[in-house]
Amino acid sequence: MAVDAADAATLQSYLALGGNLLLEGSDIGYNHGSDSFMVNVAHATESADNAGGTGLTVTDSIHRVTHGLPTTFAWKTTHPFPDGVSPTNGGVDVLKYTGTSQTAVTAFDGGTAGGSVVYYSFPLYCLNATTRNTLTLNSVAWLMHAPRSCLCGIRRLRRRIPAFKASHKLKVRR
């Protein structure tokens, strides 16, 4: 199980204390359906075990998580069971599986108190490196409530996250 009961309780407590979370992976929705973890942490409920789709399509082009992403992009590697989800409890749909009504990325803004979440209902390794890096950097910057200038390069992001290692080789250019 991707997120077991103990992990789910820990993550719920972390968010309640104002922590921000980037949650990634298929079968999280499948394993939790519409339980309190999905509603209060992922801010989405499972609507399909295999969402299908040939890739992802941006549904909220002004959301910071999608900044600089192409409108539609194909998978590098097709995952056999990406979870299709539906936003709930304040979550918003920012990316859908192309050609479907299923949400692939949900964002929840916990405001200045924290507790914000970005949930990818598929594994990141399925995206090509450029798209994966852009999506990840945008998500981290948004979760940190970073100014838009932090989206232009890894150097600025590294200053804001001391433990971030250059070996990740993530780079986004304007």
pLDDT band at 173 (very low <50, low <70, confident <90, very high): very low
Mean of pLDDT over the chain: 85
Residue 7 domain-assigned (yes or no): no
Pairwise pLDDT comparison (142 vs 172), residue with the higher score: 142
The amino acid present at 143, given as its one-letter code, is L
Residue 31 domain-assigned (yes or no): yes
Number of Cβ within 10 Å of residue 121's Cβ equals 29
List pLDDT tens digits, range 68-113.
999 999 999 988 788 899 999 999 999 999 999 999 999 999 987 7
Pairwise pLDDT comparison (53 vs 138), residue with the higher score: 138
Residue with tokens 């971030």: 164
Total domains in the chain come to 1
Pairwise pLDDT comparison (49 vs 118), residue with the higher score: 118
Helix (H/G/I), strand (E/B), else coil: 115 = coil
Residue 166 domain-assigned (yes or no): no
The amino acid present at 28, given as its one-letter code, is I
Alpha-carbon span 122 to 58, nearest angstrom: 15
Full residue range of the structural domain in which residue 84 is found: 17-148
- The enclosing domain of 65 has a CATH number of 3.40.50.880
Calculate the CA dihedral of residues 99, 34, 43, 79 and round it to 10 degrees: -40
pTM of the predicted model as reported, rounded to 2 decimal places:
0.83
Residue 154 domain-assigned (yes or no): no
* Range 112-129 average pLDDT: 92
